[in-house]
């Protein structure tokens, strides 16, 4: 109990220390590049240290709770054993109700005999109830349990089942005729027309159209699956992950990767050249604008994802203030292969 109180007091003390001494949160300290400034590094380290201290205190509290639960369970088990022993001591040593006697052969035999007698009594009661029900019926009544295997009773049951099946079949036929009567004589939905050649041809054409639609959907899904979503490497270079696996994007690596793809030669050439053009866009210093590279064989669309840092004006990148300028770029080959990627540029003004 004392250890639990000490743990609670320690946790309260730690939370009060955190409340008093935690540095004021600086909204920019969680974002780059502010997060690497000396002040933000010190602040983030202080916050992490306090978090670790709180986690350690919580771990101590959980451990103490687990130890106390183990002690409580042990005490409860001991109390239950003591209660069982006291109950046993109140019985005779050979009494089968004693917990220690439940596996004695004599007690097992007594239990088996008791169960046998109970089963016999239950069976006799069921037989008596069946006999009483039979006695209320005529001796030749097929509902009597003793008559269920008589041939005439079996024949009567079979005849009844046959009659019920015929009635059900007639009802189904009448329902089908009624449904058919509401349809045109040449309607393929009529049950009598399902084997007509015209209806078979219509069903075949429908199945072929459905299969063509399924195949077209699968082909579209495949085309979409090979379209890439871009990422940037540690040097902010464009990586077209579905096409260009090389982080260096050297001419040799680009060619090797594109040669292994299923694109046309024209698409491979255009993509290789344009990927290299994108990587040639470097950071800028000062207020000068950057020229956007264009391709003769690709259609391009540029926009700025960081309008406060840079903007697209008259086909050029206009820098507004220092920071990371992120461009959203969409371009497509003449064969319809589309790419969406981004380009990050460091701007210093």
- Asked whether residue 196 falls in the same domain as residue 297, the answer is no
Q: Is the Cβ–Cβ distance between 287 and 302 less than 8 Å?
A: no
**Domain presence at residue 113:** no
Last residue of a domain, one of 177, 207, 224: 224
**Domain presence at residue 89:** no
> CA-CA distance, 309 to 64, in Å (whole number)?
54
**Domain presence at residue 338:** yes
- For residue 9, the model assigns a pLDDT of 46
- The total number of structural domains in the chain stands at 3
- Cα Dmax for the chain: 115
Q: Give the DSSP H or E segment for 326.
A: strand 323-332
- Asked whether residue 216 falls in the same domain as residue 295, the answer is no
Q: Strands of 299-304's sheet, edge to edge?
A: 284-285, 338-348, 323-332, 299-304
- For residue 225, the model assigns a pLDDT of 55
The token pair that represents 243 in the structure block: 């096409």
- For residue 128, the model assigns a pLDDT of 93
H runs (alpha helix) in 137-250: 151-181, 197-226
- Asked whether residue 303 falls in the same domain as residue 320, the answer is yes
Burial class for 239, CB neighbours closer than 10 Å (0-12, 13-18, 19+): buried
CA 214, 215, 220, 226 dihedral sign is: positive
The token pair that represents 312 in the structure block: 């697209």
Q: Is the Cβ–Cβ distance between 268 and 333 less than 8 Å?
A: no
- For residue 323, the model assigns a pLDDT of 87
Q: Work out the angle at residue 65's Cα, subtended by the Cα atoms of residues 64 and 71, and round it to the nearest 5 degrees.
A: 90
- Asked whether residue 67 falls in the same domain as residue 10, the answer is yes
**Domain presence at residue 92:** no
> CA-CA distance, 222 to 179, in Å (whole number)?
44
Provide the CATH number for the domain around residue 277: 2.60.40.1080
> CA-CA distance, 189 to 185, in Å (whole number)?
10
Q: Which residues fall within 8 angstroms of residue 92, CB to CB, at 6 or more apart?
A: 98
- Asked whether residue 252 falls in the same domain as residue 331, the answer is yes
Q: How far is CA 240 from the centre of its chain?
A: 28
- For residue 300, the model assigns a pLDDT of 84
Number of DSSP helices (H) and strands (E) in the chain, helices first: 7, 9
Q: What is the mean pLDDT, run by run of 10 residues, along the chain of 349 residues?
A: 47 45 57 86 92 95 96 96 91 89 90 95 94 90 88 91 95 91 88 87 91 84 52 46 39 59 72 75 70 80 90 87 85 71 80
> CA-CA distance, 276 to 240, in Å (whole number)?
11
- Asked whether residue 212 falls in the same domain as residue 248, the answer is no
- Asked whether residue 210 falls in the same domain as residue 280, the answer is no
Domain that holds residue 312: 228-348
**Domain presence at residue 150:** no
Q: Give the DSSP H or E segment for 311.
A: strand 310-313
> CA-CA distance, 261 to 243, in Å (whole number)?
7
- For residue 326, the model assigns a pLDDT of 87
- Asked whether residue 340 falls in the same domain as residue 297, the answer is yes
Q: Which of 276, 280, 329, 279 is nearest to 301 (CA)?
A: 329
**Domain presence at residue 296:** yes
- Asked whether residue 233 falls in the same domain as residue 216, the answer is no
- Asked whether residue 262 falls in the same domain as residue 342, the answer is yes
- Asked whether residue 334 falls in the same domain as residue 251, the answer is yes
Last residue of a domain, one of 35, 51, 81: 81
**Domain presence at residue 259:** yes
- To the question of pTM greater than 0.85 for the whole model, the response is no
- For residue 262, the model assigns a pLDDT of 65
**Domain presence at residue 145:** no
- For residue 185, the model assigns a pLDDT of 86
- Asked whether residue 238 falls in the same domain as residue 204, the answer is no
Q: Which of 330, 332, 302 is nearest to 317 (CA)?
A: 302
């Amino acid at each position: 109990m004392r250890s639990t109180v000490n743990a609670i007091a320690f946790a309260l003390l730690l939370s009060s220390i955190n409340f008093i001494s935690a540095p004021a949160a600086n909204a920019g300290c969680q974002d780059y590049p502010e997060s690497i400034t000396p002040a933000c590094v010190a602040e983030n380290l202080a916050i992490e240290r306090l978090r670790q201290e709180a986690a350690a205190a919580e771990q101590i509290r959980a451990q103490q709770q687990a130890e106390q639960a183990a002690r409580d369970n042990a005490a409860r088990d001991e109390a239950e054993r003591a209660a069982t022993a006291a109950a046993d001591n109140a019985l005779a040593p050979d009494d089968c109700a004693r917990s220690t006697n439940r596996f004695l052969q004599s007690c097992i035999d007594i239990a088996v005999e008791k169960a046998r007698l109970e089963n016999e009594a239950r069976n006799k009661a069921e037989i008596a109830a069946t006999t009483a029900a039979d006695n209320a019926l005529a001796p030749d009544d097929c509902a009597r349990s003793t008559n269920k295997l008589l041939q005439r009773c079996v024949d009567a049951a079979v005849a009844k089942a046959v009659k019920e099946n015929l009635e059900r079949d007639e009802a189904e036929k009448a329902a089908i005729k009624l449904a058919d009567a509401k349809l045109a004589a040449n309607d393929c939905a009529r049950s009598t027309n399902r084997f007509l050649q015209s209806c078979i041809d219509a069903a075949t054409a429908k199945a072929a159209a459905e299969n063509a639609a399924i195949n077209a959907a699968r082909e579209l899904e495949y085309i979409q699956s090979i379209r890439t979503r871009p990422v940037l490497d540690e040097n902010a270079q464009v990586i077209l992950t579905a096409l260009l696996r090389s982080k260096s994007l050297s001419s040799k690596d680009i060619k090797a990767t594109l040669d292994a793809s299923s694109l046309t030669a024209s698409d491979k050439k255009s993509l290789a050249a344009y990927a290299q053009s994108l990587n040639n866009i470097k950071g800028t210093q000062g207020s000068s604008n950057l020229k956007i590279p264009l391709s003769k064989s690709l259609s391009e669309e540029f926009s700025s994802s960081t309008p406060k840092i840079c903007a697209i004006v008259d086909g050029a990148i206009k820098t507004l203030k220092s920071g990371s300028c992120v461009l959203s770029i969409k371009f497509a080959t003449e064969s319809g292969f589309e790419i969406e990627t981004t380009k990050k540029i460091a701007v210093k003004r």
